Amino acid sequence: MSIKRVYDKEIIDDLSITDDRLFNALDELKIVNKFLGGNSSSAKALKIFCKSINKNKIDVIDVGAGASDTVYTNHKYINKIISIDKNAGACKYLKNENTEAFVICADTSALPIKNNSIDAVHASLFLHHFTEEELIIIFKEYKRITRYGFIINDLQRAFIPWIGIKLLTMIFSKSKMVKNDGPLSVKRGFRKKELITLFYESGFTKYIIKWRWAFRWIAVVFNK
């Protein structure tokens, strides 16, 4: 069954929410990433990226970081991590969870990072929050700051994952934010052809896209 992409804002998009509502949602999202493919999908994408540029480890900026758990669980492929989130509460959460984390509060479309100064950008469960027009601007910004390209770990938009996450959050989640945002995130997710079109319109011609359990896409996109 086909699901049309929607653009309704999620609760987590409200940057004024910087209290326990956000912290509890981030706690639950770490569980989701652990058991529903988030961490392993980023691991696979990082492995592909490193092999493609002939490096054992890379320096990474994790955008829309939240808890940054999908990168901190993958030190095998990463030298340095800079976590960036626009929500001050998310930045506070990450600093409390990991005192060694290097965290910057900033907008992903206008990053306070010098040109070609980092190996790669990593974005997990983040880019579905934006429109196609916004994503083209964002991808060009990632190209500006990176030496090699960027990594995407995001959701496949389809009926099965939508009904699945709706049932799982209804049964197991204690967070109003997660119960609302989980199913909505799937409806804001992507189809493979849509990602390809976005890359093309952003000026990228070299990329690798793979489907991962549970109903995720990983994309490794190269500057050249």
* pLDDT tens digits for range 172-191: 999 999 999 999 999 999 99
What's the whole-model pTM score? 0.97
Q: What is the mean pLDDT of residues 21-25?
A: 98
**Half-sphere CA count of 144, side-chain side, radius 13 A:** 14
pLDDT exceeds cutoff 70 at 93: yes
pLDDT exceeds cutoff 80 at 199: yes
Q: What is the mean pLDDT of residues 90-115?
A: 96
Confidence at 1, pLDDT banded by 50, 70, 90? low
Nearest one of 72, 114, 76, 113 to 95, comparing CA atoms: 72
Instruction: Say how many C-beta atoms besides its own lie within 10 A of residue 167's C-beta.
Output: 11
- So what's the pLDDT on residue 100? 87
| Nearest-10 Cα torsion for 132, 134, 139, 142 | -160
Q: What is the mean pLDDT of the chain?
A: 97
End-to-end CA distance of the chain, in Å? Answer: 36
DSSP string, 195-208: HHHHHHHTT--EEE
- So what's the pLDDT on residue 187? 98
The string of pLDDT tens digits covering residues 117-168 is 999 999 999 999 999 999 999 999 999 999 999 999 999 999 999 999 999 9
Q: Which distant-in-sequence residues (6+ apart) come within 8 Å of 113 by Cβ?
A: 61, 145
